[in-house]
Amino acid sequence: MEAHAAAEQHHGPPPANVSSRIDARVLGMLLFIGSEIMLFGSFFTAYFFVRVVNHDSWPAKGTHLPVFVAGINTAILVTSSFTMHWALTSIKRGNRAGMRAGLALTFFMGLTFLLTQIAEYSRIGFAPNDSAFATIFFSLTGLHGMHVFIGLLLLLAATIRAFRGHYTPEHHHGVEIPGIYWHFVDVMWIVVYVTVYVL
């Protein structure tokens, strides 16, 4: 009994495999995101060589990018980051209704983004094998779309668990970790949108 009490009052460093600053699950997600940034970096490198080194026209002659629709889609995705943040801060304060609403809104805005992107693919007017420009366009936006799809699966799981009452102010990593991933997806889309559609 005394040994147990002494262990509870221990104020030294944590065990060697445990960080006192960051949860292992959060650290795992951050490391995963780091690897995904490198993956996107390889695609941006290809974009750089096509557009800057080879001096290919962007977009290719005879093609037109849906800048306006992509801009609306960007606004939807950025807004979903705010609703995701709302969900997390709500559960930290014990507000289950706010968490559920935030997660549901985030999921449906992400789904709207993805469906709009797919619809634009069907009307874009060129195919991935038409030119180097087309290949890079579909590669970058398609890679991001796959990340949105994965994010939606994580959000769906978190939303279902939220409506089943699984989260508390003390145990909310099931909301926080998908949220970190979703913010990464949002930030990466802003980079893709500015690079591919605007510049």
Separation between Cα atoms, residue 19 and residue 14, nearest integer Å: 7
Closest CA to 108 of 159, 175, 176, 180: 159
Alpha-carbon torsion (134, 137, 143, 149), positive or negative: negative
Terminal alpha carbon distance of the chain: 67
Using the predicted structure, report yes or no on whether residue 27 has a pLDDT greater than 90: no
Give residue 15's pLDDT band: very low, low, confident or very high (50, 70, 90).
low
Q: Specify the pLDDT at position 2.
A: 44
pLDDT, tens digit, for every residue of 119-140?
998 888 888 887 888 888 899 9
The predicted pLDDT at position 3 comes to 46
pLDDT, position 9: 57
pLDDT of residue 32: 86
3-state secondary structure of 165: coil
Express as a percent the part of the chain with pLDDT over 70: 89
16 — pLDDT class (breaks 50, 70, 90): low
Please report the pLDDT score of residue 180 as a whole number: 92
pLDDT at 30: 85
Q: Is the pLDDT of residue 75 over 50?
A: yes
Helix axes 96-123, 67-92, angle to 10 degrees: 160
Give the pLDDT confidence score for residue 1 in this predicted structure. Answer: 44
User: Which one has a higher pLDDT value, 98 or 199?
Assistant: 98
Stretch 142-146: mean pLDDT: 93
**Which whole number is the average pLDDT over 47-68?**
78
- pLDDT averaged over every residue in the chain: 85
Domain map (residue ranges) of the chain: 14-198
CATH code that applies to domain 14-198: 1.20.120.80
Report the alpha-carbon angle 74-78-81, nearest 5. Answer: 150
Predicted local distance difference test score (pLDDT) of residue 105: 96
Q: What is the pLDDT of residue 185?
A: 94
pLDDT, tens digit, for every residue of 147-166? 999 999 999 999 999 999 88
195 compared with 11, residue with greater pLDDT: 195
Nearest residue to 60 via CA among 50, 70, 45: 50
| 123-131 contact pairs (CB < 8 A, 24+) | 123/66, 124/63, 124/65, 124/66, 125/63, 125/64, 126/60, 126/63, 130/60, 131/56, 131/60
